[in-house]
Amino acid sequence: MSEIKTIQRKLNRKFGGAVKATREDDLIRLTGTLSTWEDIVKAGSMAVSKDKRKVHVVNDIQLAGADPVPVRTPVLKDDALEGRTPDVLIIGGGVSGAAIARELSKWDLDILLVDKESDFAIQASGRNDGEVHVGVDLGKGSLKQKYVLLGNHMFDEVCKELDVPFRRIGQYACFTQPYLKPFVTLYSKWRKYHDGVKDVSIVGREQLHRDNPTLNEDFAFAMYNSSAGIVSPYNLTIAYAENAVQNGVEVSLNTMVTAIHNEYGTIRSVETNRGTVFPKVVVNAAGVFADEVAEMAGDRFYSIHPRRGTDTIQDVKSNKIIHTVASIVEVNKAYLTSHTKGGGLMQTVHGNVLAGPDAVETREKENYATHPESIRTIYTKQQKTVAAASPRDIITYFTGVRAPTYEEDFVIEWGRKAKNLFHVGGIQSPGLTSAPAFALDVEKAVVERLKGSMTVEPNKDYDPHRQGIPELNKMSPEQREEYIKKNPDYGIIICRCEEISKGEILDALNSPFCPPTIDAVKKRVRPGMGRCQGGFCSPLVTQIIAEHAGIQNADVRKCGERSVQLYGKTKEGQA
């Protein structure tokens, strides 16, 4: 029996004929109507082909009675980009788009990066746990597995070049059942010798507890990966983007692609709210919207089904409970069928404790609302990892939305019906780890393609090094004194919780690309990230931004164009 018939039969059994599966060229299209989103996702997962590297599920099943979810669109409307003819147009300012832009900037090319949001890393790249994964749970042959191994090895160098804090803190997957030890040992050997996960080892009870005295004492052993690390995902994205800008990449934020004109299999023009551009090559790094960009280009051969996850951040004061990445592995049915085995408890590069994430399928690609149930789920699980993990120490929490395909793998390839469109889709965990590696492959592919129609020379001025902003609170008193003597603003502390000076805030505002918003400054140099969550410093930061940008306090936004903080002066005639 053909595969499509088998799939149809399975779907019929489950949904009683409400879903129709059709094989078109190299995709499986699902149509019909179902009454819950969970069922729609389930149908999508059931339709995954055995040949899933090539054949993807396109899920067109409608949700009964539901209106389409509106997309957040920029307010800005002008013609700043009208008629631009970049060699490469990159859609998306997350870690994928930023890393690709930076790698492409080695070449003397006209590169334009657009993102509909008001800063880099606003969506998934700014809303994840920042773990640099080892790929121990990924199947051989997947793109995830290929790039996670390559990417993990690149992190030391990339983070050094980009001056981004990165620490290899190791990861423990902890087990309570001693009888599982032989199986997990075998599994780890298989991963090591067959799949190339070289750093894996098994740690016995005694050593585990000696090295990690806060872990649940019931743990019998753990699988340990020494190369697991942590990085700030938004700092890495911003660093990539800044380096790209330094090397000549043009960035246009608040810029949304609204239409793509595909003529006989080639994209001729791309419409945005800032005008129409005519690129030679388009890179689709649009995260959760990658399938929608593909659709605009007439080249949708995969579907993204958003999956949200919430993480919590604990006060630095509580960081004695963990100095590595650790999580309990509860071997049960839920574990074996779950797509999120990662996460856990970890100490972030900034010394906080991060707990999470959970995983919930959602229809809404941009709904970042948090829910009390998520916090409960996270702590119910992680208190089994470290009993001292307490929701009382939480200072904040956030939700991100992952962008998986039904095949649960990356889509990194040229378009099928738009031959100058390169897809970087389905980028979810371990996307952050993989980005440095796949960005190099995208660079190669794009340059090779461009060479067919133009000469591509190296960018003579390319400099892979980006200078981060000095962190005064990490310096010795002597070094700090030296910095303050040179710039007295480094001695004026604005954020008392994170000990951030006015000088560092001004450095952020003067960096190669920093929108004049509270959140942009917060992401770059951390005022407001501490336990008071900006209660004390946000008025001061507002004033520094306003003064620096030459705007009114009321014109300083929290994040996006619409996120008004202040409504203007309370009195007439105020100075």
Tokens of 182: 């032989």
Q: How far is the CB of 562 from other proteins (least distance, A)?
A: 4
By beta-carbon proximity to other proteins, the closer residue of 266 and 565 is: 565
Of the candidate residues 372, 380, 455, 457, the single one contacting other proteins (CB under 8 A): 372
3-state secondary structure at position 90: strand
The answer to the question of residue 180 lying near other proteins (CB under 8 A) is no
Q: How far is the CB of 311 from other proteins (least distance, A)?
A: 12
> Which residue stretch of 143-151, 325-333, 391-399, 438-446 sits at the interface with other proteins (rule: CB under 8 A)?
391-399
Residues in 298-317 that interact with other proteins by CB under 8 A: 317
Question: 103 with 241: CB under 8 angstroms?
Answer: no
Which of 56, 133, 305, 350 does the annotation list as catalytic? Answer: 133
Q: How far is the CB of 152 from other proteins (least distance, A)?
A: 31
By beta-carbon proximity to other proteins, the closer residue of 196 and 535 is: 535
Instruction: State the helix-helix crossing angle for 518-525 and 502-509, rounded to 10 degrees.
Output: 110
The answer to the question of residue 566 lying near other proteins (CB under 8 A) is yes
The answer to the question of residue 73 lying near other proteins (CB under 8 A) is no
By beta-carbon proximity to other proteins, the closer residue of 206 and 478 is: 478
Query: Phi then psi for 338, rounded to 5 degrees?
Result: -80, 150
Of the candidate residues 30, 57, 228, 395, the single one contacting other proteins (CB under 8 A): 395
3-state secondary structure at position 405: strand
Query: Phi then psi for 443, rounded to 5 degrees?
Result: -55, -50
Of the candidate residues 85, 338, 481, 510, the single one contacting other proteins (CB under 8 A): 481
Question: 158 with 440: CB under 8 angstroms?
Answer: no
The answer to the question of residue 558 lying near other proteins (CB under 8 A) is yes
Active site residue 548: no
The answer to the question of residue 209 lying near other proteins (CB under 8 A) is no
**In which order are the strands placed within the sheet that holds 275-277?**
257-263, 266-272, 275-277
Q: What is the 3-state secondary structure (H, E, C) of 260-291?
A: EEEECCEEEEEEECCEEECCCEEEECCHHHHH
Q: How far is the CB of 398 from other proteins (least distance, A)?
A: 7
Contacts of 137 (CB under 8 A, 6+ apart): 341, 342
Question: 343 with 400: CB under 8 angstroms?
Answer: no
The answer to the question of residue 67 lying near other proteins (CB under 8 A) is no
By beta-carbon proximity to other proteins, the closer residue of 267 and 321 is: 321
Quickly list DSSP for 24-55: ETTEEEEEEEES-HHHHHHHHHHT--TTTTT-
Q: How far is the CB of 71 from other proteins (least distance, A)?
A: 11
Query: Phi then psi for 315, rounded to 5 degrees?
Result: -50, 140
Question: 237 with 120: CB under 8 angstroms?
Answer: yes
Closest CA to 358 of 291, 435, 429: 429
> Which residue stretch of 187-195, 403-411, 455-463, 560-568 sits at the interface with other proteins (rule: CB under 8 A)?
560-568
Instruction: Please state, in angstroms and rounded to a whole number, the distance separating the CA atoms of residues 462 and 468.
Output: 17
Query: Phi then psi for 101, rounded to 5 degrees?
Result: -60, -45
Of the candidate residues 213, 452, 477, 550, the single one contacting other proteins (CB under 8 A): 477
Of the candidate residues 57, 149, 297, 375, the single one contacting other proteins (CB under 8 A): 375
3-state secondary structure at position 509: helix
Instruction: Please state, in angstroms and rounded to a whole number, the distance separating the CA atoms of residues 110 and 81.
Output: 13
> Which residue stretch of 164-172, 201-209, 495-503, 505-513 sits at the interface with other proteins (rule: CB under 8 A)?
495-503
- CB atoms inside a 10 Å sphere around CB 188: 19
By beta-carbon proximity to other proteins, the closer residue of 233 and 425 is: 233
Instruction: Please state, in angstroms and rounded to a whole number, the distance separating the CA atoms of residues 258 and 241.
Output: 23
- For residue 173, the Cα-to-chain-centroid distance in whole angstroms is 23
- CB atoms inside a 10 Å sphere around CB 39: 16
The answer to the question of residue 414 lying near other proteins (CB under 8 A) is no
By beta-carbon proximity to other proteins, the closer residue of 46 and 256 is: 256
Total site size for other proteins, rule CB under 8 A: 62
Angle at 433 between CA 427 and CA 437, to 5 degrees: 85
By beta-carbon proximity to other proteins, the closer residue of 253 and 559 is: 559
On the question of a cis peptide bond just before residue 458, with omega within 30 degrees of 0, the verdict is no
Residues in 92-121 that interact with other proteins by CB under 8 A: none
Instruction: Please state, in angstroms and rounded to a whole number, the distance separating the CA atoms of residues 367 and 504.
Output: 32
By beta-carbon proximity to other proteins, the closer residue of 301 and 490 is: 490
The answer to the question of residue 568 lying near other proteins (CB under 8 A) is yes
Of the candidate residues 185, 396, 459, 467, the single one contacting other proteins (CB under 8 A): 396
Site string for other proteins, 515-554 (x = CB under 8 A): ----------------xxxxxx-xx--xx---------xx
Q: Residue 71: left (phi > 0), alpha (psi -120 to 50), or beta?
A: beta
The number of C-alpha atoms within 13 Å of 70 and in the hemisphere containing its C-beta is 3
Tokens of 30: 């699902």
Q: Which single residue is written with the structure tokens 């378009």?
A: 415
By beta-carbon proximity to other proteins, the closer residue of 454 and 564 is: 564
By beta-carbon proximity to other proteins, the closer residue of 207 and 367 is: 367
Q: How far is the CB of 467 from other proteins (least distance, A)?
A: 22
Of the candidate residues 492, 512, 516, 548, the single one contacting other proteins (CB under 8 A): 492
Residues in 434-473 that interact with other proteins by CB under 8 A: 472-473
The answer to the question of residue 383 lying near other proteins (CB under 8 A) is no
Of the candidate residues 187, 496, 549, 555, the single one contacting other proteins (CB under 8 A): 496
Residues in 13-32 that interact with other proteins by CB under 8 A: none
Q: How far is the CB of 177 from other proteins (least distance, A)?
A: 34
Binding site for other proteins (CB under 8 A): 72, 317, 366-372, 375, 394-398, 472-473, 477-478, 480-481, 484-485, 488-489, 491-493, 496, 499, 501, 531-536, 538-539, 542-543, 553-554, 557-575
**Which residues are catalytic, by number?**
133
